[in-house]
């Protein structure tokens, strides 16, 4: 097949960037609405479900190798300090201990992801890495930590984000470049004439929403197992990015990339912060390389909560102007975001403000506050969750000031185009989502007396209904590759370098391959998460996996099927266009007669395997591909205790073609549950005087349990987006979490008749709201 270098365009946060990629061959035609599909679109249990529920699935935590050592980390107790001296002699001679690494003996081990030493002499936050003990057992490694004597020089610190912006605030670092806020901040976006927009306004409202720092708390923490055999460094990593792990480990150890193999078969969750090798993976790799024995380093739960990144807290203020009929004339948003000690970027908190509703005059200002706390990291729709909540809360306050129905206000300002880029959307079904969601939740009856006051006005219970809109990308893009192999017995193996981070990627890729190959699903096996396959795939994040890797798998399967048909045509002396492949058999198109199983033809070739390669083609030009949706929440508030109970969530999301309604619904449910936690209970609590995190564990950091989960009503739109890619599907990872906090906050405001100003809506905060 001819090789071409093509230029495609990637869109993120209102910016278009060019990317050159290699393309080999031609993609098949798009599966449009008229396509009759036998496997894709059907409810299908996970192909690896048995392994998951029986415990035979191997996670990074499960890897056990002969002679394997175990690592444990010593963390800084101070929010800011310099290491004056380390005496590890007692630890180094303790039973079972094979090494102790720290700044004074391993100071040259650098983390390529932030260009900072893994073991630095300046500690920038509580939980920063001081030393690592390597021992025969986990218990011996942990015991050794208590034997390491460290002399610290405490330094001035700042943990409050407002205080961090003051001119006389303590410097977060005196050694590293992370001393300053990210380059280019404060960052301002403007369009139109903001002052003129407010002059045109008949009504102007000001609103504020503070959002908490949320911690990832995946079931499986960061880390992995590394082994050096003298030629190859193999690392089994809990990662969303095996190729990023390979690059990072090779760079840190001075190896060539062909000397590093990264594997991730199963992982216990990853919500954006498991890109690259992470310092735990680098330490495991370094120890295995230097000691010549396998080494495991998996973070403890406390380490995970202190040092693995977070969704940063924000303080958002809004000023919105509108005419009497609800037409928006101006929006101004100011955001302070806590990027922590080493955060190098700012989450796109203003994305919804810039794009979601029609408004000609907008200004957004982002201020990054650098503090002596664990750093921000990508976290399922980073910035957009908190920013959407802020905008949607402000819009409901505007609706109240106008005396207008909140849903009608949103319909009034429906945006037909991407305003920041001035280009059309490939498809937008947001109005349909509004209609379906409103009907299902009973929006028209939201103010009925008996619904709002289930015990009567004298009772303690109040009910409210709120809603919020959703905007995200999820269109993916190149480069992404796949290989399809048809084996002599008629079964197939699909190879790809992508990761299944718990979303069901193995299953949906198997469905796509089975559909294109004309095979039953059980005859297709998908192998992924291994750089040794040599089949590149991008990181699994941003809702990009299905939309990036799915088309590559389909192209590989289509090429394999084409070669199969050519083989059968020669063996049967029939024209290729007279043959059809379905359900694992070859059929005559003219007579409909079965000619034989696929394997019966391939077995005639003395073991020949058909191997074909597929690639993701370029993105759509001159249009924006987006996912849109809406959620409606019904809540019940006890005004005596302040407890909020979410009764029901109705979710309507347009993510293009739904390859598997079962795994799609799981994604929607998971996102909603995570959004509920952000709205009602999750928050990192910091002692401002000591700079210490007080709840770095799952006992005091509250996450939703089964008692907190409401009825979740998912409405499937399931319409292929023919401009997105050849399978017509978009990602569904981020969309469901984005509108949930805003919908819940607006439902609580509706129940209480008071605007929400801060999340999470814990009982004490609700009582304060009632008494304000």
The answer to whether 368 and 181 have CB atoms below 8 angstroms apart is yes
Question: If you average pLDDT over residues 140-145, what whole number do you get?
Answer: 98
Length of the chain, please? 772
Distance, in Å, from the CA atom of 344 to the CA atom of 363, rounded to the nearest integer, reads 23
Positions annotated as catalytic residues are: 734
Question: If you average pLDDT over residues 715-729, what whole number do you get?
Answer: 96
The answer to whether 413 and 328 have CB atoms below 8 angstroms apart is yes
Token reading at 167: 């001119």
Q: Read off the pLDDT band of 178 (50, 70, 90).
A: low
Q: What's the pLDDT score for residue 158? A: 97
pLDDT at position 733 over 60? yes
How would you write 687-731 as a 3-class SS string? Answer: ECCCCEECCCCCCCCCCCCHHHCCEEEEEECCCCCCCCCCCCECC
Q: Read off the pLDDT band of 18 (50, 70, 90).
A: confident
Strand partners of residue 485: 493, 611
Token reading at 653: 């999301």
Residue 372, Cα to own-chain centre: how many angstroms?
25
The answer to whether 206 and 213 have CB atoms below 8 angstroms apart is no
Distance, in Å, from the CA atom of 573 to the CA atom of 567, rounded to the nearest integer, reads 10
Tell me the helix, strand and coil percentages in the chain, rounded to 5.
30, 30, 40
What are the structural domain ranges in the chain? 3-30+476-615, 67-155+222-298, 314-475+622-770
The answer to whether 481 and 537 have CB atoms below 8 angstroms apart is yes
pLDDT in tens, 535-583: 999 999 999 999 999 999 999 999 999 999 999 999 999 999 999 999 9
Distances (CA, A) of 411 to 206, 327, 420: 21, 10, 19
pLDDT at position 293 over 90? yes
The answer to whether 413 and 327 have CB atoms below 8 angstroms apart is yes
Distances (CA, A) of 290 to 101, 269, 293: 11, 30, 8
Find all residues with CB under 8 Å of 593, minimum gap 6, and list them: 587
Question: If you average pLDDT over residues 326-331, what whole number do you get?
Answer: 98
Q: Please name the CATH architecture into which domain 314-475+622-770 falls.
A: 2-Layer Sandwich (3.30)
Q: What's the pLDDT score for residue 76? A: 98
Of 178 and 116, the structure prediction assigns the larger pLDDT to 116
Q: Read off the pLDDT band of 151 (50, 70, 90).
A: very high
* Neighbour count for residue 252 (Cβ, 10 Å): 24
Token reading at 194: 């903001």
pLDDT in tens, 629-655: 999 999 999 999 999 999 999 999 999
Mean pLDDT of the chain: 95
Q: Read off the pLDDT band of 622 (50, 70, 90).
A: confident
CATH superfamily of 67-155+222-298: Aldehyde oxidase/xanthine dehydrogenase, a/b hammerhead (3.90.1170.50)
Angle at 741 between CA 213 and CA 357, to 5 degrees: 110
Distance, in Å, from the CA atom of 365 to the CA atom of 360, rounded to the nearest integer, reads 17
The answer to whether 601 and 594 have CB atoms below 8 angstroms apart is no
Q: What's the pLDDT score for residue 433? A: 98
Question: If you average pLDDT over residues 13-41, what whole number do you get?
Answer: 85
Q: Please name the CATH architecture into which domain 3-30+476-615 falls.
A: 2-Layer Sandwich (3.30)
pLDDT in tens, 477-530: 999 999 999 999 999 999 999 999 999 999 999 999 999 999 999 999 999 999
* Neighbour count for residue 302 (Cβ, 10 Å): 16
Return the axis-axis angle of helices 384-402 and 740-752, rounded to nearest 10°.
30
Question: If you average pLDDT over residues 148-157, what whole number do you get?
Answer: 98
Q: What's the pLDDT score for residue 181? A: 66
pLDDT at position 617 over 60? yes
Distance, in Å, from the CA atom of 567 to the CA atom of 485, rounded to the nearest integer, reads 14
Q: What's the pLDDT score for residue 23? A: 80
Domains 3-30+476-615 and 67-155+222-298 share a fold: no
Distance, in Å, from the CA atom of 476 to the CA atom of 32, rounded to the nearest integer, reads 18
Q: What's the pLDDT score for residue 112? A: 85
Q: What are phi and psi of 296, to 5 degrees?
A: -110, 130
pLDDT at position 210 over 70? yes
The answer to whether 216 and 379 have CB atoms below 8 angstroms apart is yes
Q: Read off the pLDDT band of 180 (50, 70, 90).
A: low
Distance, in Å, from the CA atom of 34 to the CA atom of 43, rounded to the nearest integer, reads 19
Strands 310-311 and 314-322: unpaired
Question: If you average pLDDT over residues 79-94, what whole number do you get?
Answer: 98
pLDDT at position 608 over 90? no
Q: Read off the pLDDT band of 215 (50, 70, 90).
A: very high
Token reading at 665: 């619904």
Q: Tell me which residue has tokens 């403890």.
A: 300
The answer to whether 241 and 318 have CB atoms below 8 angstroms apart is no
pLDDT in tens, 245-271: 999 999 999 999 999 999 999 999 999
């Amino acid at each position: 097949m001819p090789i071409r270098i093509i230029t495609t365009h990637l869109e993120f946060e209102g910016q278009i960037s060019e990317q050159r990629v290699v393309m080999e061959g031609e993609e098949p035609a798009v599966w449009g609405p008229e396509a009759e599909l036998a496997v894709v679109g059907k409810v299908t249990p996970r192909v690896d479900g048995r392994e998951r529920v029986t415990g035979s699935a191997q996670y990074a935590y499960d890897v056990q190798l002969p002679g394997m050592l175990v690592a444990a980390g010593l963390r800084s107790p101070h929010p800011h300090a310099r290491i004056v001296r380390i005496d590890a002699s007692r630890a180094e001679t303790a039973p079972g201990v094979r090494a102790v690494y720290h700044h004074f003996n391993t100071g040259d081990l650098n983390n390529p992801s932030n260009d900072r030493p893994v073991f630095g002499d300046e500690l920038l936050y509580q939980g920063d890495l001081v030393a690592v003990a390597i021992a025969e057992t986990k218990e011996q490694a942990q015991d050794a930590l208590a034997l390491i004597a460290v002399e610290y020089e405490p330094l001035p610190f700042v943990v409050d984000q407002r205080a961090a912006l003051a001119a006389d605030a303590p410097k977060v670092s005196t050694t590293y470049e992370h001393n300053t806020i990210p380059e280019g901040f404060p960052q301002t976006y403007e369009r139109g004439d903001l002052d003129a927009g407010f002059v045109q306004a008949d009504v102007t409202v000001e609103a504020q929403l503070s959002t908490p720092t949320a911690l990832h708390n995946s079931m499986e923490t960061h880390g992995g197992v590394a082994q050096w055999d003298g030629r190859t460094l193999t690392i089994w990593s809990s990662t969303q990015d095996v190729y990023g792990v390979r690059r990072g480990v090779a760079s840190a150890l001075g190896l060539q990339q062909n000397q590093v193999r990264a594997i991730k078969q199963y992982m216990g969750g990853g919500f954006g912060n498991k890109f690259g090798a992470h310092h735990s993976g680098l330490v495991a790799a370094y120890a295995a390389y230097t000691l010549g024995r396998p080494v495991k380093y998996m973070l403890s739960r406390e380490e995970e909560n202190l040092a693995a990144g977070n969704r940063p807290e924000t303080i958002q203020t809004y000023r919105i102007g509108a005419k009497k009929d609800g037409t928006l004339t101006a929006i101004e948003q100011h955001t302070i975001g806590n990027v922590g000690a080493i955060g190098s970027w700012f989450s796109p908190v203003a994305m919804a403000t810039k794009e979601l509703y029609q408004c000609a005059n907008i200004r957004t200002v982002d201020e990054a506050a650098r503090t002596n706390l664990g750093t921000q990291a990508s976290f399922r729709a980073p910035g957009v969750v908190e920013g959407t909540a802020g905008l949607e809360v402000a819009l409901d306050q505007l609706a109240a000031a106008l005396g207008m129905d909140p849903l009608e206000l949103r319909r009034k300002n429906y945006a037909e185009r991407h305003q920041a880029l001035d280009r059309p959307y490939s498809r937008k079904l947001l109005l349909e989502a509004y209609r379906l969601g409103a009907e299902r939740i009973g929006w028209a009856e939201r103010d009925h007396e008996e619904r709002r006051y289930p015990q009567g006005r004298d009772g303690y219970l109040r009910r409210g209904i709120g809603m919020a809109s959703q905007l995200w990308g999820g269109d993916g893009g190149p480069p992404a590759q796949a290989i399809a192999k048809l084996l002599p017995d008629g079964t197939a193996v699909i190879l790809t370098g992508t990761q299944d981070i718990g979303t069901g990627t193995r299953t949906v890729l198997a469905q796509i391959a089975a559909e294109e190959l004309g095979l039953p699903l059980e005859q297709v096996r998908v192998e992924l998460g291994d750089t040794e396959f040599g089949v590149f795939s991008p990181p699994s994040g941003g809702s990009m996996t299905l939309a990036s890797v799915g088309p590559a798998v389909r192209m590989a399967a289509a090429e394999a099927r084409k070669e199969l048909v050519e083989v059968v045509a020669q063996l049967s002396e029939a024209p290729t266009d007279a043959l059809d492949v379905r359900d694992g058999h070859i059929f005559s198109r003219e007579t409909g007669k079965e000619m034989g199983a696929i394997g019966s033809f391939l077995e005639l070739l003395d073991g020949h395997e058909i191997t074909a390669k597929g690639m993701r083609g370029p993105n759509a030009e001159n249009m924006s591909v987006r996912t849109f949706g809406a959620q409606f929440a019904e809540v019940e508030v006890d005004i005596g205790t302040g407890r909020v109970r979410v009764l029901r969530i109705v979710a309507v999301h347009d993510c293009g073609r739904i390859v598997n309604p079962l795994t799609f619904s799981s994604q929607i449910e998971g996102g909603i549950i995570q959004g509920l936690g952000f709205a009602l209970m999750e928050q990192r609590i910091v002692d401002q005087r000591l700079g210490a995190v007080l709840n770095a564990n799952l006992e005091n950091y509250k996450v939703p349990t089964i008692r907190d989960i409401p009825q979740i009503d998912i409405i499937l739109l399931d319409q292929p987006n023919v401009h997105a890619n050849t399978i017509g599907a978009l990602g569904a990872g981020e969309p469901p979490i984005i509108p949930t906090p805003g919908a819940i906050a607006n439902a609580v405001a509706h129940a209480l008749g008071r605007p929400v100003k801060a999340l999470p809506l814990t009982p004490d905060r609700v009582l304060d709201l009632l008494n304000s």
